[in-house]
Amino acid sequence: MEPARAPASGPDIAVAGRVDRVRSLPQGHPVKGDGTISGLTIESVQTQLLPDAANPQLLVHVRDTAGAVGTGETWWGTYQPTAPPGTPVRAIAVFIDTILAPVCEGLRIDRVSDIAAVYDQMQRAVAQYGPEGVTSIAISGVDVALWNLLAHRNNSDTADLLGKRFQHSVRAYASLSWLGDAEAVVDTASGAIEHGFRAVKLHEADVELILEVRRTLDPDIAMMLDVSGRWSFDEAAQAIPRLGRAGLVWIEEPVYPYTDHRSLALLRKVANDSGTLLAAGENEFGPSGFERLLAAAAVDVLQPDLVKCGGLSATGPISALADDSAVAIAPHNFSLGPSLLANMAWAAVEPSVRWLEVPWLGAARFPSGMDVPEVVDGAVAV
């Protein structure tokens, strides 16, 4: 069999260096000026379920007493194709409606730093439920909506509230679905490339399929691989060296449990010896999870999911951890909606963010109706 062609550039991701940033706010957010904004009082927090058999979305709307509305989004839940559409996010909606909404309603915000007080109130309200899982996901959705509301009220971009812009465009990759067929992968990837992407991420576990795709795609198109924990440790240790000739930018979540940091650290060495990087982090909840992941030296690329790990209010501490460990950030996102927009805002102010994940489903659409952003020479404007 013809050997797979690796991209001429090989793994292409800049490792973050230390960057001085303002970390004076309680949650670690940078902020411009003195942080004074057009004040507001939260009137209501409401959820909106957008049912879909494959890609349900749960939107969160925060309304102030002047009638302005900010919209956020939670994580979309596990894939449950045989359940009624929207099932994966219903538990999250109930948690927001019954636990978080009453806590937030009536709270006043006069400075950007006041968001930290709202965040603290939500964390206190869920403390006895535990800080991770559904609780963190629910907080994330409200937090993203709150930042969006502040941006609307102040006629600004969310990024401008977060801090100083370091970049105006970021490389983006098209994140494909689980297809299981090389021809289908190539056909879907070709559509993404026509849209302007210069990188694609496969969700596959068959080594020969992955190598076949690499042989077929233009060698100048970068390729990432998300295994979604479908290999055992032994399978991963055998597969990763075989994939060395594919020139993958990174291999993501090769094993389950996703938070098995010891196994990830061992496989990181295997990946590095094979000429690629190891990525993980979408299943960590909050800064403490990322601190454990980085302390284990388990990743080269950190992948926080903002609608799981605490929203934009968690980005300051996570950025600082990545900076201290000199790892790059490539946020996880498989949604077209407020989740992607929040990641774009973070990317604008955080130089460690080197890639953005944009789902590419071909003709399929997310129920929000948001289009894939314009991609020029492999990058999106932020």
For residue 369, give the DSSP letter. Answer: -
**Cis link prior to 257 (omega < 30° from 0)?**
yes
Q: What is the pLDDT of residue 113?
A: 92
Give the other-Cβ count within 10 Å of 78's Cβ: 9
Per the CB < 8 A criterion, the answer to whether 338 and 26 are in contact is: no
| Amino acid at the residue 262 | R
User: 61 catalytic, yes or no?
Assistant: no
Q: What is the Cβ-side half-sphere exposure of residue 376, based on CA atoms within 13 angstroms?
A: 5
- pLDDT band per the 50, 70, 90 thresholds, residue 9: very low
165, 192, 263, 359 from 363: Cα distances, Å:
34, 11, 37, 12
Q: What is the pLDDT of residue 13?
A: 59
Task: Work out the average pLDDT over 278-296.
Answer: 97
> Average pLDDT of the chain?
92
Q: What is the pLDDT of residue 235?
A: 99
Helical axes 207-216 vs 233-242, angle rounded to 10°: 20
Per the CB < 8 A criterion, the answer to whether 86 and 55 are in contact is: no
C-alpha span between 208 and 181 (Å, rounded): 11
Catalytic one among 29, 203, 261, 332? 332
Q: What is the pLDDT of residue 21?
A: 33
Domains of the chain as residue ranges with CATH: 36-156 (3.30.390.10), 164-381 (3.20.20.120)
pLDDT tens-place string over residues 250-271: 999 999 999 999 999 999 999 9
First to last CA, the chain: 43
C-alpha span between 327 and 15 (Å, rounded): 5
Which runs of E-coded beta strand occur in 211-340?
222-226, 250-252, 277-280, 301-302, 328-329
Strands 199-202 and 169-175: parallel
- pLDDT band per the 50, 70, 90 thresholds, residue 12: low
Task: Work out the average pLDDT over 104-115.
Answer: 96
- pLDDT band per the 50, 70, 90 thresholds, residue 362: confident
C-alpha span between 382 and 372 (Å, rounded): 14
Which tokens is 178 given? Answer: 């689980």
Task: Work out the average pLDDT over 27-40.
Answer: 57
Which tokens is 198 given? Answer: 């210069």
Residue 1 scores a pLDDT above 80: no
- pLDDT band per the 50, 70, 90 thresholds, residue 24: very low
Q: What is the pLDDT of residue 239?
A: 99
C-alpha span between 113 and 361 (Å, rounded): 38
| Amino acid at the residue 13 | I
Task: Work out the average pLDDT over 130-153.
Answer: 97
Per the document, the length of the chain is 382
For residue 98, give the DSSP letter. Answer: I
Which distant-in-sequence residues (6+ apart) come within 8 Å of 147 by Cβ? Answer: 70, 72, 115, 158, 161, 162, 311, 312, 313, 342, 345
Residue 169 scores a pLDDT above 90: yes
Which distant-in-sequence residues (6+ apart) come within 8 Å of 37 by Cβ? Answer: 109, 110, 111, 112, 150, 153, 154, 161
Name the residue among 187, 178, 233 with its Cα closest to residue 206: 178
Q: What is the pLDDT of residue 37?
A: 77
- pLDDT band per the 50, 70, 90 thresholds, residue 354: very high
pLDDT tens-place string over residues 292-320: 999 999 999 999 999 999 999 999 999 99
Which tokens is 23 given? Answer: 């970390």
Task: Work out the average pLDDT over 281-285.
Answer: 98
C-alpha span between 217 and 190 (Å, rounded): 8
Q: What is the Cβ-side half-sphere exposure of residue 172, based on CA atoms within 13 angstroms?
A: 31
C-alpha span between 355 and 330 (Å, rounded): 5
Task: Work out the average pLDDT over 185-207.
Answer: 98
In order, the DSSP letters of 48-73 are EEE--SS--EEEEEEEETTS-EEEEE
Q: What is the pLDDT of residue 35?
A: 65
